[in-house]
Amino acid sequence: MKLNYYPDTDSLYIDLSEKVSTESQEISEGVVVDYDSEGNIVGLDIDNASKKLNLSELVITKMPIVSQKITV
């Protein structure tokens, strides 16, 4: 899973899979879910993310993470 924030557009993309998105559906104003060819969710795109989310803090609880990488 990858979290990508784009400050120039104030959008957050949550990449849940390495599979290619073949279909997208807006589920709420400015929130789009991307699906693969089998109908599985592969990502979420959130417009105006700083207005909808607290981007100053990331809390990860009880995740079976083998490795983590933080880049700036």
Q: What pLDDT was estimated at residue 63?
A: 86
**Residue of 35, 51, 45, 56 lying closest to 14 (CA atoms):** 45
Question: pLDDT tens digits for 6-59?
Answer: 999 999 999 999 999 999 999 999 999 999 999 999 999 999 999 999 999 988
Q: What pLDDT was estimated at residue 47?
A: 98
Q: What pLDDT was estimated at residue 72?
A: 76
Distance (Å, whole) CA 9 – CA 69: 23
**Residue of 14, 6, 16, 15 lying closest to 50 (CA atoms):** 6
Distance (Å, whole) CA 61 – CA 24: 29
Question: pLDDT tens digits for 51-67?
Answer: 999 999 988 888 898 88
